[in-house]
């Protein structure tokens, strides 16, 4: 065996060790999993195969346009419909960021610096500031959503604001929790209330707002310098992945979605064929979205900010249980849910792990559904039903399953998800487009209630 192959297998072995010893909430210098795996020639060949496949995909469309129209017939109608009113998006984002940056930090600092009471007055003082914090979080949720509805922002523009809204809300809660716990510990350990308290610096908080993590720490592992070639490479690959996602949606998904508006009747045959037609493009979108965001986008910001802990995901494609899949798919959000939802609920529920895990699933499903409600402009509980019901069934059915067959089951469940979820959302849209021919979710609910009342 050659020396190069020895190095490749050694790097692969070190990757497995880094995954094994990872602990939630601990930050150490480590690279992303794909960064290490791409050092292995055989793994890098898989990425090259995907690149070649996507190149052929684009070439097919280009050659087909030249043969039929004599020119490129690339349409940007979907882009124009999905993205718009960017000046409003920029204005709302600036207001959210400035409020999160200054109001949150200096309000928390005011609470900590003026906490000089004792007894009942101290409890009342903390209670008032807790109400202020609740009002702020409520305002951060309500005001941007209200602006989206007021200005009738397109889907992609709404998604940008809502994604930033949820990100800043989770970062705000993490900063508050970590500093409140720090101040309370200092207060309990110190007998002299006039001693100066230790509070995070604004520069630390400012760095945290843009760092690719949702867990606040005063210090993170940092690299010695910025490698600008990696920054350009990561953001360049992100843009390519974004363009490929748009191409797949515009030329593969949209023609399938148009069936909902041309066919008068939704039959079982129509449903089955449509769901299977959505699977392959859906899987490609998932792969591109995962690689583009979790690997390229987050690694690009990590390199730009010299953030050295880059374990943003784990090897979810090798896992055999739904519980470990959700923990490994999105490590950044999972860490936040584990620290601030799972652990807190475990304390309240006397260590009941199943109920605590159920609370995590419910919270995640609610905010996913909230994202879809504001983005689409209507409520259809697809995500709550799919992830809340089927997700928990999968989790408790085989929480510690092992073996190849369970990995096959889990990998088969991914294309089913990415086909069924858009199917039901587009079905709801078509029902609103054809109100006399089809029933929306609320029509079904109200009609069933009327039938039940008439039977009674």
The pLDDT tens digits for 373-407 are 898 888 878 877 777 676 667 666 665 656 677 77
pLDDT of residue 449: 47
- CB of 20 within 8 A of CB of 33? no
Long-range residue pairs from 197-206, CB within 8 A, at least 24 positions apart, any chain: 197/112, 197/113, 199/109, 199/112, 199/113, 200/175, 202/105, 205/101, 205/105, 205/175, 206/101
Nearest CA among 110, 206, 95 for reference residue 144: 95
pLDDT at 164 over 90: yes
pLDDT of residue 89: 92
Q: Establish if 375 belongs to a structural domain.
A: yes
Q: What is the pLDDT of residues 314-371, one digit of tens each?
A: 888 887 776 777 778 888 998 999 889 888 888 888 877 778 888 888 888 888 888 9
Which residues, 6 or more positions from 218, have their beta carbon under 8 angstroms from its beta carbon? Answer: 200, 201, 204
Q: Establish if 379 belongs to a structural domain.
A: yes
- What is the Cα–Cα distance from 422 to 345, expressed in whole angstroms? 32
Q: Establish if 302 belongs to a structural domain.
A: no
**450 and 317 housed in the same domain:** yes
Q: Establish if 374 belongs to a structural domain.
A: yes
**DSSP designation for 83:** S
**183 and 319 housed in the same domain:** no
Choose one of 152, 178, 210: the last residue of a domain: 210
pLDDT of residue 59: 83
pLDDT at 444 over 70: no
**204 and 322 housed in the same domain:** no
Choose one of 210, 242, 259: the last residue of a domain: 210
Tell me if residue 368 is catalytic: yes
Helix (H, G, I), strand (E, B) or coil at 46: helix
pLDDT of residue 443: 52
Q: Can you tell me the mean pLDDT for 266-292? A: 88
pLDDT of residue 292: 92
Catalytic residue among 151, 173, 247, 368: 368
What range defines the domain where residue 129 resides? Answer: 86-189+199-210
Residue 428: pLDDT band (50, 70, 90) is confident
Q: In total, how many domains does the chain have? A: 2
Q: Establish if 337 belongs to a structural domain.
A: yes
pLDDT of residue 143: 92
Q: Establish if 157 belongs to a structural domain.
A: yes
Q: Establish if 94 belongs to a structural domain.
A: yes
Go through 186-198 and write b for each residue having 16 or more CB atoms within 10 A of its CB, e for each that does not: beeeeeeeeeeee
Choose one of 155, 175, 210: the last residue of a domain: 210
Mean of the per-residue pLDDT values for the chain? 81
**203 and 322 housed in the same domain:** no
Q: Establish if 95 belongs to a structural domain.
A: yes
Handedness of CA 111, 114, 118, 122 (dihedral sign): negative
Stronger pLDDT, 111 or 193, i.e. the higher one: 111
């Amino acid at each position: 065996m050659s020396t190069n192959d020895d190095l490749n297998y050694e790097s692969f072995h070190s990757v497995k060790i880094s995954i094994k010893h990872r602990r939630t909430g601990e930050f150490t210098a480590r690279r992303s999993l794909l960064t290490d795996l791409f050092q292995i020639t055989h793994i890098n060949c898989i990425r090259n195969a995907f690149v070649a496949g996507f190149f052929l995909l684009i070439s097919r469309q280009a050659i087909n346009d030249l043969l039929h129209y004599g020119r490129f017939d690339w349409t940007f109608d979907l882009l124009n419909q999905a993205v718009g009113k960017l000046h409003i998006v920029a204005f709302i984002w600036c207001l959210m960021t400035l409020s999160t940056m200054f109001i949150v930090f200096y309000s928390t600092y005011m609470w900590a610096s003026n906490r000089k009471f004792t007894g009942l007055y101290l409890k009342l003082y903390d209670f008032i500031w807790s109400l202020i914090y609740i009002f702020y979080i409520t305002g951060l949720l309500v005001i941007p959503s209200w602006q989206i509805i007021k200005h009738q922002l397109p889907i992609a523009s709404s998604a940008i604001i809502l994604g930033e809204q949820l990100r800043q809300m989770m970062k705000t809660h993490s900063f508050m929790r970590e500093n409140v716990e720090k101040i309370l510990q200092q207060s309990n350990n110190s007998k002299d209330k006039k001693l100066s308290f230790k509070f995070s610096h604004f520069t630390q908080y400012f760095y945290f707002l843009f760092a690719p993590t949702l867990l606040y720490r005063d210090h993170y592992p940092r690299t010695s310098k910025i490698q600008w070639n990696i920054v350009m490479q990561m953001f360049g690959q992100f843009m390519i992945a974004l363009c490929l996602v748009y191409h797949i949606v515009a030329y593969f998904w949209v023609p399938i979605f148009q069936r909902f508006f041309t066919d008068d009747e939704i039959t079982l045959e129509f449903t089955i064929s449509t769901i299977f037609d959505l699977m392959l493009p859906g899987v490609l979108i998932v792969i591109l979205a995962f690689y583009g965001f979790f690997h390229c986008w987050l690694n690009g910001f990590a390199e730009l900010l010299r953030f050295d802990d880059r374990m943003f995901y784990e090897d979810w494609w090798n896992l055999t249980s739904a519980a470990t899949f959700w923990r490994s798919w999105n490590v950044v959000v999972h860490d936040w849910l584990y620290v601030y939802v799972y652990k807190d609920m475990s304390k309240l529920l006397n260590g009941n792990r199943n109920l605590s895990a159920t609370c995590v699933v419910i919270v995640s499903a609610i905010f996913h559904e909230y994202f879809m409600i504001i983005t689409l402009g209507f409520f259809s509980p697809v995500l709550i039903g799919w992830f809340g019901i089927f997700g928990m069934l999968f989790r408790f059915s085989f929480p510690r399953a092992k073996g190849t067959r369970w990995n096959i089951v889990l990998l088969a469940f991914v294309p089913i998800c990415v086909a069924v979820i858009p199917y039901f959302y587009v079905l709801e849209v078509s029902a609103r487009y054809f109100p006399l021919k089809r029933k929306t979710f609320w029509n079904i609910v109200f009609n069933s209630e009327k039938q039940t009342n008439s039977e009674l």
